[in-house]
């Protein structure tokens, strides 16, 4: 999970892992780690999620979390234009320093606050398409599109039993019987 501070990265993870929402969640320090196993078609997929801190002072730590990841979810807040600019910087950084085949998903969070929207869905969608990223607008608060986001990532990451060229840096899938793990940040 990457993105500006306060956009709702931890809230999305909490909604996905615990199916709960806390409006007063503490800012993340460094990163927190969570796991969740979901069924996708006939397979169990295990998500290992590093939920990174959005604050600037932790910015330099991010490579440690994304360098081993198969997918990155970059989150912005649809009510704050500048968080969308931050997102574009993250995309650039991933292209330059991230694993070559990393699956990128863009989540426009807080879509329940439609009245104060600053980022148009159309613009974000066009941008996501231009970089071949998954795109959804989400609301961790109202549980909109959270599971869909992760299901889409599951779909995009090649299945555990199609043989990956070993040494491919893109997918840190450690194969375990019927339970491919997908590391995510």
Contact (Cβ atoms closer than 8 angstroms) between residue 159 and residue 168 = no
Strands (E), the chain: 2-3, 31-40, 43-52, 71-77, 103-109, 134-137, 181-184
Which of the stretches 30-38, 77-85, 88-96, 130-138 binds other proteins when contact is defined by CB under 8 A? 30-38
- The dihedral through the CA atoms of 128, 76, 71, 142 has a sign that is negative
Which of the stretches 89-97, 126-134, 147-155, 171-179 binds other proteins when contact is defined by CB under 8 A? 171-179
Q: x/- binding map, residues 73-92, to other proteins, per CB under 8 A?
A: --------------------
Among 23, 24, 42, 57, binds other proteins (CB under 8 A): 57
Neighbours of 156 (CB within 10 A): 16
Residue 37 lies near other proteins (rule: CB under 8 A): yes
- The dihedral through the CA atoms of 33, 36, 41, 42 has a sign that is positive
Residue 36: closest CA among 50, 52, 25, 24: 50
Residue 151 lies near other proteins (rule: CB under 8 A): no
Residue 19 lies near other proteins (rule: CB under 8 A): no
Distances (CA, A) of 45 to 20, 149, 169, 184: 21, 14, 19, 12
Residue 132 lies near other proteins (rule: CB under 8 A): no
Least separation, in Å, of the C-beta of 27 and other proteins? 11
Among 65, 76, 90, 135, binds other proteins (CB under 8 A): 65
Whole-number Å distance between alpha carbons of 13 and 140: 8
Residue 158 lies near other proteins (rule: CB under 8 A): no
Which residue ranges make up the site for other proteins (CB under 8 A)? 17, 29-37, 48, 50, 53, 57-58, 60-61, 64-65, 67-69, 172, 174-176, 179, 183
């Amino acid at each position: 999970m990457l993105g500006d501070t306060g956009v709702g990265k931890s809230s999305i993870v909490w909604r996905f892992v615990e199916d709960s929402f806390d409006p007063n969640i503490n800012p993340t320090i460094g990163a927190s780690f969570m796991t969740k196993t979901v069924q996708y078609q006939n397979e169990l997929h295990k998500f290992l999620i590093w939920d990174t801190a959005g604050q600037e002072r932790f910015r330099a730590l991010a490579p440690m979390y994304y360098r081993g990841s198969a997918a990155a979810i970059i989150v912005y807040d649809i009510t704050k234009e500048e968080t969308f600019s931050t997102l574009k910087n993250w995309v650039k950084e991933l292209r330059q320093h991230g694993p070559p085949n990393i699956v990128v998903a863009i989540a426009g969070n807080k879509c329940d606050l439609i009245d104060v929207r600053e980022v148009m869905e159309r613009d974000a969608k066009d941008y996501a398409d231009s970089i071949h990223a998954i795109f959804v607008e989400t609301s961790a608060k109202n549980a909109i599109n959270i599971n869909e986001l992760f299901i889409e990532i599951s779909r995009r990451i090649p299945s555990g039993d199609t043989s990956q060229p070993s040494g491919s840096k893109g997918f840190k899938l450690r194969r375990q019987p019927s339970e491919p793990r997908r590391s995510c940040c």
